[in-house]
Chains A and B, each alone.
Chain A
Amino acid sequence: MLNPNLNLNQNLFDKEKIELKSVRDGFGDGLMELGKTNPDVVVLTADLSESTRVEKFAKEYPQRFFECGVAEQNMAAIAAGLGVSGKIAFISSYAVFSPGKNWETIRTTTVYNQANVKIAGHHTGIATGADGVTHQASEDIAITRCWPGIQIFSPCDAVEAQKATIASVQINTPVYLRFSRQKSPIITTEQTPFTSGQIVDFWQTENPQVTIFATGYLLYQALLAAKELEEENIPTIVANVATIKPLDGENILKLTQISQAVVTVEDHQIMGGMGGAIAEFLAQNKPLPMEFIGLQNTFAQSGSPEDLMKKYGLDKDAIKSAVKKVIERKIK
């Protein structure tokens, strides 16, 4: 059942009533809040103000907004200059371009330089859809989580995205924020607590056979899978990995204590992703059988988010199969 302490959306499993909102909208909402409350916050974009949801901030706080044109390296290094000068600089673009195209610029001028810059990566995952592979970031977790001293937030819905955006300025280190484009179910509510650095069980069971760790919008698919599995007498835990780095090892151990088996779920390449991070941790602390939901060493293609999730094995049915497979491996 849904964790009763989290005040999650009560309409979560009601297809008629569930509200859909793009995760990126929460970023825009968070920036508007920060614009009001924190005069040090500045925002930069590289010709993507509308689609990365910084347009409202730009209109409301023009003095604190910098349009860099189609120049992601310049945007990143300007932000670093601001970030070492007392400002908190958000750079906002598609993740393929930032932190993709400007990876080394961010590495040197923000991460190694310890500049107070927040990198907002949009259009992550194949669910970005029709634009195709060139605009679907599926490696961004891999290329950021190998950086020492960065934190990575990957919110599950627009409400959590707003909270993660606001929480990111409480941290003086660089933060990578991962957002998706398509409309997706609102899982949490205003009252759901968000604590950076914590992995939280959204779906609880007394005697779980498997623990599912999911990040981003796919958490919803994991919850749908858990509900259906429960009806098949396969109890599971579903945990929301909203912070990928630093990894909450303590809760990973706690949440796998009974299940002794893991499935990870992310819209990202399997290699180097959130599942990889958990595998690295478990291999060193408590090796367990694991299955990974994500892109299996392939690029995707254009299509609707639903068609892509189905074809590339990211939806609830794929998650259910992975759960059953890992149970079999556990028994063997």
Chain B
Amino acid sequence: MPTALTEDQIKDLEKKANLIRQIIIIMLYEAGSGHPAGSLGMADIFTALYFQILNHKPDNPNWEDRDKLILSNGHICPVQYAALALSGYFPVKEIKTLRKIDSRLQGHPHRTSLPGIETTSGPLGEGLSQAIGMALASKLNNKSIQVYCLGSDGELEEGNTWEAVMFAGKNKLENLILIIDRNNIQIDGTTENIMPLEPLKDKFQAFNWNVLEMDGNDMNTVIATINQAKEMKSPTVIIAHTVPGKGVNFMENKVEWHGKAPNKEETKKALEELC
């Protein structure tokens, strides 16, 4: 899919995504706990959003015309923290404080702790509803901001998600884009074993949503697909097929890396692969 970007620009973004992956590994090693698989898998999408798509001002996080990015599955916050830090929301060196006492980088994101965090998340299935609230507020204020909600496939098992999907479909919220990290894993195993989600596309279509699918680890495709979604006239979901643990061979597609920090040796190995 073509984008307006040159090959060099795409390459730069890919480098940025790689840097974000390195930061994720360092953060999680320093913290001693956290969630690498989803964080690594979503690095390309976060890079595309923060460095190409979002209309935002890192030096003025509360700028009222900014686009909103809501992370629903808060446990992959390392990828968001890395993207925020590299965007300039806070000093990169602060990433080493993740999950430690008195840090602004809470184990799951907390709105008032850190600039750039639009809302608090962690308990699953609540992000889309909050994104809807922000989309409604934007319409009431006659603003044309875009609201992006990033969530996981596992959290689609929460009933709250479908309450929100119904509501957005009914109210034709064209300023709302949901990006689902379809990486097929969750804590207890694969999604299709734990609680089958397929046919996922049909489910959303039945609730009057537009559905797009993409390779969530291909920068060019990610940017083109999100731009396509922005043009659509009713709420749009992008099912983003990603590889959990992407970029670190021994973590890729491994359920056990959902919520475990790498040790010193694993960190070294991972960074060697990424650098």
In the bound complex, do residue B130 and residue A78 qualify as a contact, i.e. CB atoms below 8 Å apart?
Answer: yes
Q: Please classify the interface of chain B as helix (H, G, I), strand (E, B), loop, or mixed, using the class held by over half of its residues.
A: helix
In the bound complex, do residue A85 and residue B138 qualify as a contact, i.e. CB atoms below 8 Å apart?
Answer: yes
Given A69-B163, A104-B123, A105-B160, 16 further pairs, Cβ under 8 A? A73-B125, A74-B160, A77-B130, A78-B132, A78-B133, A80-B130, A81-B70, A81-B130, A81-B135, A82-B133, A82-B134, A84-B111, A84-B119, A84-B133, A85-B138, A108-B123
In the bound complex, do residue A86 and residue B141 qualify as a contact, i.e. CB atoms below 8 Å apart?
Answer: yes
Q: For B128, give the chain A residue with the smallest CB separation.
A: A77
A to B CB contacts below 8 Å, 25 in the list: A42-B136, A68-B167, A71-B160, A71-B163, A73-B159, A74-B129, A77-B160, A77-B164, A78-B136, A78-B167, A80-B130, A81-B119, A81-B129, A81-B136, A84-B133, A85-B133, A89-B133, A105-B123, A108-B121, A108-B123, A109-B119, A109-B129, A109-B130, A113-B110, A113-B111
In the bound complex, do residue A108 and residue B120 qualify as a contact, i.e. CB atoms below 8 Å apart?
Answer: yes
Provided the pairs A80-B130, A105-B160 are in contact, do residues A63 and B119 lie with their beta carbons within 8 angstroms? no
CA distance A69 to B132 in the complex (A): 15
0/1 string, B66-87, CB within 8 A of A gives 1: 0000100000000000000000
A64 within 8 A of B: yes
CA distance A84 to B138 in the complex (A): 11
Chain B residues at the A interface, C-beta cutoff of 8 Å: 70, 110-112, 118-123, 125-126, 129-138, 140-141, 159-160, 163-164, 166-167
Residues of B within 8 A of A294 (CB): none
Residues of A within 8 A of B131 (CB): 81
A66 within 8 A of B: yes
Residues of B within 8 A of A64 (CB): 140
In the bound complex, do residue A81 and residue B132 qualify as a contact, i.e. CB atoms below 8 Å apart?
Answer: yes
Nearest CB on B from A48, distance (A): 15
Q: For A73, give the chain B residue with the smallest CB separation.
A: B160
4 closest A-B pairs by CB? A81-B133, A77-B129, A85-B137, A74-B163
CA distance A113 to B70 in the complex (A): 13
CA distance A80 to B163 in the complex (A): 15
In the bound complex, do residue B160 and residue A79 qualify as a contact, i.e. CB atoms below 8 Å apart?
Answer: no
CA distance A73 to B134 in the complex (A): 16
CA distance A108 to B160 in the complex (A): 14
Partner of A109, one of B112, B126, B140, B141: B126
Chain B CB within 10 A, most for which of A68, A73, A77: A77
CA distance A177 to B8 in the complex (A): 57
A114 within 8 A of B: yes
A99 within 8 A of B: no
In the bound complex, do residue B110 and residue A112 qualify as a contact, i.e. CB atoms below 8 Å apart?
Answer: yes
Q: For A112, give the chain B residue with the smallest CB separation.
A: B120
Nearest CB on A from B61, distance (A): 13
CA distance A71 to B126 in the complex (A): 12
Residues of A within 8 A of B160 (CB): 71, 73-74, 77, 105
CA distance A77 to B118 in the complex (A): 13
In the bound complex, do residue A73 and residue B126 qualify as a contact, i.e. CB atoms below 8 Å apart?
Answer: yes
Nearest CB on A from B145, distance (A): 10
In the bound complex, do residue A113 and residue B120 qualify as a contact, i.e. CB atoms below 8 Å apart?
Answer: yes
In the bound complex, do residue B137 and residue A74 qualify as a contact, i.e. CB atoms below 8 Å apart?
Answer: no
Nearest CB on A from B30, distance (A): 25
A135 within 8 A of B: no
Nearest CB on B from A79, distance (A): 6
CA distance A78 to B166 in the complex (A): 13
In the bound complex, do residue A78 and residue B119 qualify as a contact, i.e. CB atoms below 8 Å apart?
Answer: no
In the bound complex, do residue A73 and residue B140 qualify as a contact, i.e. CB atoms below 8 Å apart?
Answer: no
Residues of B within 8 A of A76 (CB): 129
Provided the pairs A71-B167, A77-B130, A108-B120 are in contact, do residues A82 and B111 lie with their beta carbons within 8 angstroms? no
